[in-house]
A and B are shown apart, each in its own frame.
Chain A
Amino acid sequence: MDLSKVPNERKLYLCRWYFRAGLALLPFIWTVNAIWFFNEAFRKPEYAEQKQIRKYVVYSGIGSLIWAVIIITWVTIFQINRTNWGEFADNISFIIPTGSP
């Protein structure tokens, strides 16, 4: 979708809904939202809905950052300890790599 052809209230509507959808533990939607509406929020001349869009973009950005920290921490912990955890690690794995302990 080309945002430049969309009316401002529609932009707000989209941005709000992306933010709400991300609340359902979907951090990538927040990431998309933050990047997609970044220009609208910060780099476009001011318009009525911009303030609210800016709010959602900031919230989405912070949210996805927190998620990123959580995910990276977990992946690091898991990869370091996968072998030691033995059966537990296998049980929570979706794909077990072949040829490694």
Chain B
Amino acid sequence: MDFTLKPVFLLTIVLLYVAINVNAVRTKDKMYENIDASKACFRRLNATHQIGCTSKRGGSTGVIHYCRSQSDLDFILKNGTAPPYVPVIPTNLFTTSNVNRLKQSSKISGVLLYAGDENPDYFTHEQQCPNPESSLKGTCKASNVWNPHGTGLLYQDIPFPVFFVESEETIKFAKECFDKYNNHSFSTQRDRSLCSLQLTSFMYAATNSSTCIRRSNMITNLNPVKFCDPLGDNNAWASLFPLVRGPNLTEPIRDVGYIVVAARMDATSMFDKTEGAISPVTGLVALLATAKYLKTILPTDENFTKNVLFVVFNGETYDYIGSQRFVYELLKGNFPTKSKEFLPEIRMDDIDLFIELSQLNKTETVVAHYLSGTKLKDFLLKLRTNKGDLSFDEAEDSLPPASVHTFLKNRTNLPSLVLADHRGPFLNPFYNSVYDNASNLHYKYLNLTKDDISQSDNIQTHVQKVATMLAKSLYLEITAKSYQGPEDVADLQFIDELFHCYLENANCRVHQAIQKLELNTQPISLYIGVEVAPNFITTLIGLTLGWVTGDVTGPGNRNCTNEPKNYALRYYNMSRSLDDLNTTMCYRITMNFTEAVSPAFIIDGYDWSSGQYSTWTESIWGDIKLRVFLKPSAAHENMTIAVGSMVFILALLLVYFVKSRAHILFAPQLPTLAPTSC
């Protein structure tokens, strides 16, 4: 070997060795332990207020204090010596009085919530009168509120971050860290290293919707910042019969009345996770089951004077966003489309009857709420006739929060009723919270095949009864005859599957039947979200509604297209049935989506203070994260800054000294000799 290459060779070996054996771990990764699976509370705004939580810019930090009970929390608020603290509390301690105390205490910089050993008795942070500004006045009396356990915390401005942690390991990790470093000799906590949390959920928007929308639209520099987005998504609607007739289905049917069957599809929660089993899934499933059963027993239009519109509203939790926009378009004559050429214009006065399916958990009775003075006697009688073994009752002059409020505000005599599982206050103790899940509904997936029947009395059979009652009554209303055919009840398998789809597994058979995508097995969030990010669940619900109200035109193939283009219809290849997913049929459906964005955001120069429409927006945020680290003691921190400052000052002195003595330290430059040749 050429000996000059030897050092190069050796160096290569050393470098390789270093490269293989040394993993660069960044300091921050050594310091922090990231925690996943946490759901933050974030900020929303309306015309007058900001609500929700925010951290400081760059995150709020505090010392962990793990609480099992109220006394643990009281202890740290009173005796904590090393503030700020982040109490880690079980959900049942998250009450109005505790939150108010935490807000007033200067020792708190954030809160972490975990699901305790057992579910709380109630957990709902919605207001006691949901949507107070946009509901009809006098429908929620102070003596008899709809949501008696509602804390209204969802609508409070909380100045510190609050996270909900789902994973038990995370809480165990935090607890172990707390036990090891923090959980002893509290009076000397200041003098030692403490296990701490950093909660980052800094919200960009502030003040109110008009301010943040105005700031978002302003371009004063080259890097415009967005502060907030309006809440919004889509409503879905479908009709029982096509809105057109004639040989080519091109002639709009104009002179018919419509029965609107409505339900909401959105839920909300304090945290970035919704469940929504009782509200809205029970009502939504009942609507879809009614639609399917009614289409089965009444498949074709025999020149009836009535049609049925099934409408699923979105964003109803936030001051009826979906229905407000729907009514706005209805009054402007823009429903179903702006153009009157291909489809009939449906006006407010064309609605003969409005039926809303609200929360429909399995309780003793199904109650029809309605305002007196509307012509409903006939239809209520029909419901009674068809109720089967369901216990059915009426509540006159009572109207729980529902989309129908928006309609009644614009047409006071609209015959309308709301079917719900409660006569007085909600029986759902977890309205709009993370606990309104399948177990709140006592739902168990039965995995039925067609024509299976369930022996036991469960939520599925209950919803089946409601759907059967409603569909048979609608049949009677439309045809003026009682149904005498062979299909006696609504499809139980379909109902069972739908609950499974919305509460347990989005990749369920219904969703496989209506579209081709392989979905995630997690349930999809029902929170409306912002208008710029459409929710796929809305599309799925719309397609399901289309599937059950559509007409089969033949076997499914590539000829199943809308040729020549008919604006009144859509054509889809969808599975024949839930048991036969692989056989597709061509469905001709009358289904569409309408925008569910509050009119406040589309009216030019809308008066924000008028309170006429929903004004909810959601703040933009940069980063939402949670991490654990070991915070040095105060003495240690002071030492670090002192040493750093001293080094800095010494360096300045040294440089000054060297510079002032430069002529001694460095030999003066010799003057260069003049060139000799000149």
Contacts and interface: CB of A to CB of B under 8 A. Distances in A.
A in complex with B:
yes
Interface of A: 83, 86-87, 90-91, 93-96, 98-101
Interface residues of B, number: 16
A96 B225 contact: yes
B218 A90 contact: yes
Interface in B200-219: 202-207, 211, 214-215, 218
B206 A93 contact: no
Given A86-B211, A87-B214, A90-B215, A95 B204 contact: no
Given A90-B214, A90-B215, A101 B206 contact: yes
Contacts of B225: 96, 98
Nearest to B207: A101
Contact of A94 (B57, B205, B221, B227): B221
Contacts of B207: 83, 101
Nearest to B226: A98
Nearest to B202: A99
Contacts of B676: none
Contacts of B303: none
A100 B211 contact: no
A95 B221 contact: yes
Contacts of A91: 218, 220
B239 interface: no
A98 B221 contact: no
B54 interface: yes
Instruction: Name the 9 nearest CB pairs between A and B, nearest first.
Output: A98-B204, A101-B207, A101-B206, A96-B215, A94-B221, A100-B206, A94-B220, A99-B204, A99-B203
Nearest to A98: B204
B484 to A, nearest CB: 65
A95 B57 CA distance: 16
Contacts of B57: 98-99
A94 B57 CA distance: 20
Contacts of B215: 90, 96
Contact of B54 (A87, A95, A96, A99): A99
Contacts of B221: 94-95
Contacts of B204: 98-99
B104 to A, nearest CB: 21
A94 B222 CA distance: 10
30 contacts: A83-B207, A86-B211, A87-B214, A90-B211, A90-B214, A90-B215, A90-B218, A91-B218, A91-B220, A93-B220, A94-B221, A95-B220, A96-B215, A96-B218, A96-B220, A96-B225, A96-B227, A98-B57, A98-B202, A98-B204, A98-B225, A98-B227, A99-B202, A99-B203, A99-B204, A99-B206, A100-B206, A101-B206, A101-B207, A101-B211
A83 B211 CA distance: 10
A95 B224 CA distance: 9
Q: Give the one of A91, A95, A96 with max B CB within 10 A.
A: A96
A91 B214 CA distance: 10
Contacts of A98: 57, 202, 204-205, 225, 227
A80 B555 CA distance: 72
Contacts of A93: 220
B292 to A, nearest CB: 48
A96 B225 CA distance: 8
A101 B157 CA distance: 13
Nearest to A100: B206
Contacts of B203: 99
A65 B527 CA distance: 57
Interface in B168-224: 202-207, 211, 214-215, 218, 220-221
Nearest to A95: B221
A83 to B, nearest CB: 8
B221 to A, nearest CB: 5
Contacts of B214: 87, 90
Q: Give the one of A94, A98, A100, A101 with max B CB within 10 A.
A: A98
A87 B211 CA distance: 8
Given A91-B220, A96-B220, A99-B204, 9 more contacts: A90-B211, A90-B218, A93-B220, A95-B221, A96-B215, A98-B57, A98-B202, A98-B227, A99-B206
Interface in B485-512: none
Nearest to B56: A99
Nearest to B622: A98
Contacts of A95: 220-221
Interface string B220-236: 11000101000000000
Nearest to A96: B215
